[in-house]
Amino acid sequence: MQIYLPIAEISVNAFLLLGLGGMVGILSGMFGVGGGFLMTPLLFFIGIPPAVAVATEANQIVASSFSGVLAHLRRKTVDLKMGLVLLIGGLIGAGVGIEIFRALREIGQVDLLVKLTYVIFLGIIGSLMFIEGLNALKKSKTRAGKPAPRRGHLWIHGLPFKLKFRTSGLYISAIPPLAIGALVGILAAIMGVGGGFVMVPAMIYILGMPTKVVIGTSLFQIIFVTAFTTLMHATTNYTVDMALAVLLLLGGVVGAQIGTRIGLKMKAESLRLLLATLVLGVCGKLGLELLIEPSELFILGAGGE
Amino acid sequence: MIRILLALFLLASPAHASEKVIAGLSQNRVAITANFDGTGILIFGAVKREAPPPTTGPLDVIIAVSGPERPVVVRKKARVLGIWVNKESRTVSSAPSFYAIASTGPLPKILSKSEDLRYKITIPRMVAEKAAADGLSNIDEFASAVIRIRQHNGLYTEKGGKVNLADQTLFDTQIALPSALVEGDYKARVFLLRDGRVIDDFSKTIAVRKVGMERWIYNLAHERPLIYGLLSLAIAILAGWLASTIFRLLKLS
- Which pLDDT does position B153 carry in this prediction? 83
- Which pLDDT does position B190 carry in this prediction? 92
Judge whether residue B53 has pLDDT over 70: yes
- Which pLDDT does position B88 carry in this prediction? 79
A10, A243, A257 ranked by CB distance to B217: nearest: A243
Helix or strand run (H / E) with residue B200 = strand B197-210
Strands B197-210 and B99-103: unpaired
Banded pLDDT at B63 (limits 50, 70, 90): very high
CB contact under 8 A, A238 and B222: yes
Residues of chain A with C-beta less than 8 angstroms from the C-beta of B219: none
* pLDDT (tens digit per residue) in A66-94: 877 887 888 888 888 888 888 899 889 88
* pLDDT (tens digit per residue) in B202-228: 999 999 888 888 888 888 888 888 888
Judge whether residue B154 has pLDDT over 80: yes
Between B17 and A70, where is the model more confident?
A70
Banded pLDDT at B143 (limits 50, 70, 90): confident
Closest-CA distance, A46 to chain B, in angstroms, reads 12
Say yes or no: B221 contacts chain A, CB-CB below 8 A: yes
Residues of chain A with C-beta less than 8 angstroms from the C-beta of B77: 294, 297-299
CB contact under 8 A, B86 and A109: yes
Q: How far apart are CA A128 and CA A141, in angstroms?
A: 20
Say yes or no: B227 contacts chain A, CB-CB below 8 A: no
Q: Looking at residues B35-42, what average pLDDT do you find?
A: 85
Measured CA to CA in angstroms, residue B74 lies from A215, A295, B161 at distances of: 42, 16, 32
Residues of chain B with C-beta less than 8 angstroms from the C-beta of A111: 86
CB contact under 8 A, B240 and A111: no
Residues with Cβ within 8 Å of residue A194, at least 6 apart in sequence: A33, A34, A35, A36, A58, A61, A65, A188, A222, A225, A226
Judge whether residue B14 has pLDDT over 60: no
DSSP state of B192: E
Q: Looking at residues A1-14, what average pLDDT do you find?
A: 82
Give the chain B residue whose CA is nearest to the CA of A295.
B77
- Which pLDDT does position B42 carry in this prediction? 92
Q: How far apart are CA A33 and CA A282, in angstroms?
A: 14
Closest-CA distance, A71 to chain B, in angstroms, reads 7
Banded pLDDT at A144 (limits 50, 70, 90): very low
Q: Looking at residues A168-177, what average pLDDT do you find?
A: 77
Residues of chain B with C-beta less than 8 angstroms from the C-beta of A297: 76-78, 145
- Which pLDDT does position B43 carry in this prediction? 92
Say yes or no: B72 contacts chain A, CB-CB below 8 A: yes
Q: Looking at residues A153-179, what average pLDDT do you find?
A: 71
User: Is B185:B207 a contact under the CB 8 Å cutoff?
Assistant: yes
ipTM attached to this prediction? 0.76
* pLDDT (tens digit per residue) in A110-139: 667 777 877 887 788 788 878 877 887 777
How deeply is B242 buried, as exposed, middle or buried, from its count of CB atoms within 10 A (0-12, 13-18, 19+)? middle
Between B215 and A201, where is the model more confident?
B215
* pLDDT (tens digit per residue) in A247-257: 888 888 888 77
Give the chain A residue whose CA is nearest to the CA of B242.
A67
Compute how many other C-beta atoms are within 10 angstroms of the C-beta atom of residue A247.
Answer: 25
% pLDDT > 90, chain B = 10
CB contact under 8 A, A62 and B237: yes
Closest-CA distance, A231 to chain B, in angstroms, reads 5
Query: To 5 degrees, how large is the angle CA B142–CA B143–CA B144?
Result: 90
Say yes or no: A15 contacts chain B, CB-CB below 8 A: no
% pLDDT > 70, chain B = 87
- Which pLDDT does position A305 carry in this prediction? 37
Judge whether residue A147 has pLDDT over 70: no
- Exposure string of B4-39, with b = 16+ CB inside 10 Å and e = fewer, is eeeeeeeeeeeeeebbebebebeeeebebebebeeb
- Which pLDDT does position A45 carry in this prediction? 73
CB contact under 8 A, B34 and A59: no
Banded pLDDT at B9 (limits 50, 70, 90): low
Q: How far apart are CA B71 and CA A305, in angstroms?
A: 10
Give the chain B residue whose CA is nearest to the CA of A115.
B85
Residues of chain B with C-beta less than 8 angstroms from the C-beta of A47: 180
Say yes or no: A3 contacts chain B, CB-CB below 8 A: yes
* pLDDT (tens digit per residue) in A206-236: 888 887 788 888 888 888 888 888 888 888 7
Q: What mean pLDDT value characterizes chain B?
A: 82
Closest-CA distance, B238 to chain A, in angstroms, reads 8
- Which pLDDT does position A140 carry in this prediction? 67
User: Is B205:B186 a contact under the CB 8 Å cutoff?
Assistant: yes
CB contact under 8 A, A231 and B230: yes
Q: Looking at residues A240-263, what average pLDDT do you find?
A: 84
